[in-house]
Amino acid sequence: MGTVTAGHQALLVDLYELTMAAGYFENEVNYPSTFELFVRELPEKRSYLVAAGLEQVVDFLESVQFQSEEIEFLRSHPTFAHVRKEFFDYLKHFRFSGDLWAMPEGTLVFPGEPILRVSAPLIEAQIMETYLLSMINCQTMIATKATRVVAAAGGRGVIEFGSRRAHGPEAGVLAARAAYIGGCVGTSNVYAGFRMGIPIYGTAAHSWTMTFEDEEEAFEKYCRVFPDSALLLIDTYNTVEGARKAARMGQKVKGVRIDSGDLLKTSQQVRTILDDAGLSGVQILASGDLNEYKVRDLVQHGAPIDVFGVGTELSTSHDAPALGGVYKLVEQTVENSFRYRIKLSPQKATYPGKKQVFRFTNARDQFDHDVIARDQESSQGAPLLERVMAEGHRLGPLPALHIARERAALNFSRLQERYAAFENPDTYPVINSQALEELFQKMKHLN
């Protein structure tokens, strides 16, 4: 029993993490090292990101280890033919023993800003790379998309509905979680409710209606089982007819769902039918290939839709389905000697040394600009990276998921309109501190 990847976390890595690990081990260079995870460039149409995924990262760092059969697999793989037995003994006892600094989930983050920072012996920090990137990239991408859809809905509820189009069952759960942080009121994904406490919502599918000879019979039978919560799908045959039949259920029906056709026109027709039947309290939920633009248009045209069910485009961040987070070595201590690390590849240079991000606000308490500074600098701005783990263990419980969600909403409310716009937003100002820039220039000339 278990999902596709159950119980073998430590191998959820790119092979080069493990070849490098073996190489570091054999060359005795397991130096105290610091890596930072950041996004170089925002995807098109994005002007900010909403940090998400930290809880899964911490769970992983606290629990990751190699099973004996995994070690055996590596040892017998031709790649490791010349690696000594001692390395595999090392893997047997491998645990993450490092420190983690991170932006709390729900924090708005901009290009170049470290979302998290790992300090650990080089091998440990290196092996974590793939998992940390996939988790932070994925959840941050979807939390960000969710804030766009939620903003478009202008106060009406948005439910994440996209498990069936997510990139596998686990991705569906991660999408549900990230979308909740981004402001959705809940999800259709039951596991996310069970394990993470996210509010879950469900209506019915066309198969329900089709199972009964008559649509009205289908509605009656559904309402009987769910007298407090029946949301009826009314578009199986003809939406207007479906609405009339739903109206005959009276107070037993809590809401109706429309999943096809012209949602503006149809929702108006359905609203009229419900209101004429004295059912002004019955909600209309609309779904069907929605995204932030369609939701915005429906809201702007006054569509009487109370709740939007948004699936595919939200749960895959369809218009920007990958986030290019990277994880880069920034400093090491080599035999008691401290070294900054820098990379100069074309278009892919990295700044050396541990960093902190300071956020400055204006007189109206809106975000004004950020400064990426060297870790030890002091600043009038609010520091965004917090220490989350020390010596392999979390310093305390992480904030509850609803706190992350509230943080995202509060952060977003403090982002000025011109940076928050859907299309053609201005670039939020992020500058490097003078000390960081000087260090970079100095390092560049040394190489």
Residues 381-440 touching its own copies, rule: CB under 8 A, are none
- The answer to whether 18 and 83 have CB atoms below 8 angstroms apart is no
Does residue 79 touch its own copies according to CB under 8 A? yes
Q: Draw the binding track, 52-71, toward its own copies (x: CB under 8 A; -: no contact).
A: ----x------x-x----x-
Query: Which residues are within 8 A (CB) of 304 and not within 5 positions of it... i.e. 6 or more apart?
Result: 267, 268, 270, 271, 284
- Reported residue count of the chain is 447
Give the residue, chosen from 32, 121, 261, 392, that forms a contact with its own copies under the rule CB under 8 A: 261
**DSSP state, residue 103:** P
Which is nearest to 140 in space by CA: 5, 322, 7?
322
Does residue 204 touch its own copies according to CB under 8 A? yes
Q: Which of residues 180 and 201 has its CB atom nearest to its own copies in the complex?
A: 201
Does residue 259 touch its own copies according to CB under 8 A? yes
Q: Which of residues 260 and 432 has its CB atom nearest to its own copies in the complex?
A: 260
* Greatest extent of the chain over all pairs of C-alpha atoms, in Å: 80
Does residue 446 touch its own copies according to CB under 8 A? no
Residues 208-237 touching its own copies, rule: CB under 8 A, are 208, 210-212, 221-222, 224-229, 235-237
For tokens 């100095």, what's the residue? 442
Sign of the alpha-carbon torsion through 266, 272, 277, 278: positive
The nearest distance, CB 370 to its own copies, in angstroms, is: 25
The nearest distance, CB 223 to its own copies, in angstroms, is: 10
What is d(CA 343, CA 328) in angstroms, rounded to the nearest whole number? 9
Pick the stretch among 101-109, 279-287, 338-346, 414-422 that binds its own copies (CB under 8 A). 338-346
- The answer to whether 52 and 106 have CB atoms below 8 angstroms apart is yes
Give kind and range of the element (H or E) at residue 428: none
The nearest distance, CB 312 to its own copies, in angstroms, is: 5
The nearest distance, CB 382 to its own copies, in angstroms, is: 30
The nearest distance, CB 289 to its own copies, in angstroms, is: 8
Give the residue, chosen from 73, 94, 293, 360, that forms a contact with its own copies under the rule CB under 8 A: 73
CA dihedral 309, 313, 317, 319 (to 10 degrees): -140
Pick the stretch among 77-85, 100-108, 368-376, 402-410 that binds its own copies (CB under 8 A). 77-85
Does residue 90 touch its own copies according to CB under 8 A? no
What is d(CA 161, CA 313) in angstroms, rounded to the nearest whole number? 10
The nearest distance, CB 49 to its own copies, in angstroms, is: 15
Pick the stretch among 336-344, 364-372, 394-402, 419-427 that binds its own copies (CB under 8 A). 336-344
Pick the stretch among 26-34, 88-96, 109-117, 418-426 that binds its own copies (CB under 8 A). 26-34
Q: Which of residues 78 and 397 has its CB atom nearest to its own copies in the complex?
A: 78
Q: Which of residues 12 and 410 has its CB atom nearest to its own copies in the complex?
A: 12
What is d(CA 54, CA 94) in angstroms, rounded to the nearest whole number? 21
What is d(CA 378, CA 161) in angstroms, rounded to the nearest whole number? 44
| Burial grade of 190 (CB within 10 A; 0-12, 13-18, 19 or more) | middle
Give the residue, chosen from 16, 68, 89, 250, that forms a contact with its own copies under the rule CB under 8 A: 16
Does residue 338 touch its own copies according to CB under 8 A? no
Does residue 445 touch its own copies according to CB under 8 A? no
Does residue 146 touch its own copies according to CB under 8 A? no
Pick the stretch among 148-156, 243-251, 291-299, 327-335 that binds its own copies (CB under 8 A). 327-335
The nearest distance, CB 66 to its own copies, in angstroms, is: 11
SS3 of 112-149: the string is: CCCCEEEEEEHHHHHHCHHHHHHHHHHHHHHHHHHHHH
Does residue 23 touch its own copies according to CB under 8 A? yes
The nearest distance, CB 89 to its own copies, in angstroms, is: 16
Q: Which residues of 111-139 are buried (b: 16+ CB within 10 A; e: fewer)?
A: bbbbbbbbbbebbbbbbbbbbbbbbbbbb
Q: Draw the binding track, 157-176, toward its own copies (x: CB under 8 A; -: no contact).
A: ----x-xxxxxxxxxxxxx-
- The answer to whether 138 and 53 have CB atoms below 8 angstroms apart is yes
| Burial grade of 94 (CB within 10 A; 0-12, 13-18, 19 or more) | middle
Residues 266-305 touching its own copies, rule: CB under 8 A, are none
Size of the site for its own copies (CB under 8 A): 122
Q: Which of residues 228 and 365 has its CB atom nearest to its own copies in the complex?
A: 228
* Residues forming beta bridges with residue 35, ordered by sequence position: 118, 329
- The answer to whether 219 and 232 have CB atoms below 8 angstroms apart is yes
Which is nearest to 247 in space by CA: 221, 271, 214?
271
